[in-house]
Amino acid sequence: VKVTRISRAPDASRRNDRSRQAILRAAWDLLDRGGFPALTIEGVARRAGVGKATIYRWWPNKAAIVMDAMSELALPHIPFPDTGSTREDLRRQMTSVTELFPTKAGRALLALIGESQHDALLAAALRDRLIVERRESASEVLRRGVARGEVRADIDPGIAIDALYGALYYRLQVSHAPVDPAYVDALIDQLWPALAAAP
């Protein structure tokens, strides 16, 4: 059954995948080289050997390109292991995150978060495509802990995650202090009494 095209959206089936990939890679490189300010549509087009119109046809703005590039080139795989110990699970997860920060993907993520402050659509996209999943995984760890009797039954996982991960972001973005495995250990140690089940 043939359906008359109504929307003015471009026809994805005709999309040139070579161009798409070249654009994502070029954006990725530029972002890494000079951060968001260095990422210009003009520059991406030049470096990718692509017309500007092709970029504008498929992405509404720079942030959207970076989002795609991140999904495509750098899906930062954060493991959420089940070691049997909630504390150890948290430690490993959070250490993975600290190891992500100094990479290309980490810098891109932070740049996107910064940009999302004045771009509601980007904020929503980030939340949906990157944040929600991670928070869900972390919640799962805590729920397992509750089931095992390690974690207090009346915990609010959202708040706990805000505190744990918030500390990392705050240190990185506001204090500009190092965020490393040692810090993660100290952080979990300090907060553990607030998470642990009563003895």
Partner DNA sequence: GATTAATCGAGACGGTACGTCATGTCTTAGC
Partner DNA sequence: GCTAAGACATGACGTACCGTCTCGATTAATC
- Binding residues for DNA, rule: CB under 7 A, are 2, 5, 10-11, 13-16, 18-20, 22, 40-43, 45, 48-54, 56-58, 61-62
What's the closest the beta carbon of residue 9 comes to DNA, in angstroms? Answer: 7
Alpha-carbon distance of 113 to 101, in angstroms, equals 13
Give one DSSP letter per residue of 29-55, joined into a string.
HHHHHHHHHH--HHHHHHHHT--HHHH
Applying CB under 8 A, the site for a second copy has a residue count of 43
Q: Which is nearer to a second copy, 26 or 187 (CB)?
A: 187
Exactly one of 163, 178, 180, 182 binds a second copy (CB under 8 A); that residue is 163
Which of a second copy, DNA, none interacts with 110 (beta carbon under 5 to 8 A by kind)?
A: a second copy
Q: Which two tokens stand for residue 154?
A: 């009346």
Tokens of 6: 């109504």
Segment near a second copy (CB under 8 A); pick from 13-21, 76-84, 86-94, 156-164? 156-164
**Contact call for residue 175 and a second copy (CB under 8 A):** yes
Tell me if residue 16 falls in helix, strand or coil. Answer: coil
What whole-number distance in Å separates Cα of residue 110 and Cα of residue 77? 16
